Amino acid sequence: MKADLHLHTLHSDGKFPPAVVIEKAYKKGIKIASITDHDNISAFIQAKEAAKVYKIELFSGVEISSNINGKELHILVYGFDPNCIELEKFLKKIRENRIRRIKKMISKLNDLGVVINENEFLNYYANYVAIGRPHLADALIKKESVKTYREAFQRYLGDGKPAFEPKNNPDYSIVFKLVKEIKALSFIAHPSKFFNNDELTTMVNAGLVGIEVIHPSHSLEDSKKYLQFARDNDLLICGGSDFHGMNNDDINLGKFIINKSDTEKIKLYLNSL
């Protein structure tokens, strides 16, 4: 029974509405899913309705931006109450920080002679969208300032590039604390090439309960490594396609999966809380 616990919609940087993402997952044989938009849980209600239609079991999920040792860390959170006020307040602050960051990047682009109208750009997106660099890359493509997302990041938006602005993310320990308080579960997302074992152990000591073992960015050796780390540290595992609806995402959907037994372990842990 296929499970994909890493899917994105247009409520963050995905291409499709929640119902379309669920439909696409169904067509790839996925029976268990989670919408994990960046810093945003607003897609859950629409996804839940579609999941009923396609008889897909839906986990509440979100991918929260945070920092550890000066590096960005994405934390997948599962099993929370989608009506949780504390979580939504926390995520709203992160989304507001995202907007402040994008405004600074737009200002830098304008100084470079790549003119983006700030009000037009922001008003194009619904107020629930977690705006990020992919949206700005899309604006550059529409203006024909660049031809591709890759070019947008290589020339202007990537880390260290002329229009780059660091994100003001919360410390990972604050995120773990909140997740524990709302009785949900925290997993590190796609750790490959970003974090060493000492950093992973630090996260485990801070409250991490799981690790994303299956991900398109992981080689077979990576997956084996993180699976062993999970076993050695009594961690849960998760995985998925990280579907956004772009590039090779349709190929990855239904290919990068975990099985029902892994999701059952997640549910048992949640029930124990």
pLDDT digits (tens, 9 = 90+) for 170-189: 999 999 999 999 999 999 99
Q: What is the pLDDT of residue 193?
A: 67
What average pLDDT does range 76-94 have in this prediction? 96
In a domain, 95, yes or no: no
Could you tell me if 84 and 193 lie in one domain?
A: yes
- Residue 39: pLDDT band (50, 70, 90) is very high
Could you tell me if 268 and 185 lie in one domain?
A: yes
What average pLDDT does range 25-40 have in this prediction? 97
Domain count, the chain: 2
Complete DSSP assignment for 100-158: HHHHHHHHHHHHTT----HHHHHHHS-TTS---HHHHHHHHHHTTS-SSHHHHIIIIIS
Could you tell me if 240 and 210 lie in one domain?
A: yes
Could you tell me if 150 and 267 lie in one domain?
A: no
- For 114, the domain range is 100-157
Q: What is the pLDDT of residue 70?
A: 86
Examine the pLDDT at 136 and tell me if it is beyond 70: yes
β-strand pairing of 2-7 with 30-35 = parallel
Examine the pLDDT at 248 and tell me if it is beyond 80: no
- Residue 105: pLDDT band (50, 70, 90) is very high
Could you tell me if 202 and 81 lie in one domain?
A: yes
CATH of the domain at 185: 3.20.20.140
What average pLDDT does range 135-140 have in this prediction? 95
Could you tell me if 173 and 85 lie in one domain?
A: yes
Q: Which two tokens stand for residue 118?
A: 């700030």
Could you tell me if 108 and 199 lie in one domain?
A: no
Q: What is the pLDDT of residue 100?
A: 96
How many Å separate Cα 220 from the centre of its chain?
A: 22
DSSP state of 64: E
Q: Which two tokens stand for residue 87?
A: 């979580």
Q: Cβ(114)–Cβ(162) under 8 Å?
A: no
Q: What is the pLDDT of residue 250?
A: 82
Percentage of the residues of the chain whose pLDDT score is greater than 90: 88
pTM, two decimals, is: 0.94
Examine the pLDDT at 94 and tell me if it is beyond 80: yes
Could you tell me if 12 and 69 lie in one domain?
A: yes
Examine the pLDDT at 220 and tell me if it is beyond 90: yes
What mean pLDDT value characterizes the chain?
A: 94
Q: What is the pLDDT of residue 62?
A: 98
